[in-house]
Amino acid sequence: MTLQTIQPQEVEVFYILPTIRSRMASAMKEQGMKQKDIAELLCVQESTISQYLSSKRAADVKLGSKVDKEIAEAVKRIKTKEDLVRETQKILRTVKDARILCRVHKSVADIPSACNVCPFIG
């Protein structure tokens, strides 16, 4: 489904951030954390974590092995909400630098194929 033209920041909010949280939840679960604790740390509902873990939510966007590895490493450093914000921002920078945001934006929005907005973001 292609949406009308939307801002790159909306793509981050609707597609990229949920995907990052989903990958974080999976990595935290693999470390033995309980869903309740994961939900509290990621600032989402426990039902959201359940949907992430069962691939019912935020499962369609592929971030690539580099970002997936960065997420797995970031999870090891996340102990507080401040850590979560810091690590998420680092991951978002990688997503932008690797032009993943641009790729996802083009796949979900009605934008010209020659769009050159993303190099100016951030």
- Residue 12's pLDDT is 93
SS3 3: strand
SS3 92: helix
Mean pLDDT by groups of 10 residues along the chain of 122 residues:
73 95 97 96 96 94 95 96 97 94 88 72 52
Domain ranges of the chain: 8-120
Cα–chain center distance at 119: 19
Q: What is the pLDDT of residues 75-89, one digit of tens each?
A: 999 999 999 999 999
Residue type, 54: S
Most distant pair of Cα atoms in the chain: their distance: 45
- Residue 110's pLDDT is 81
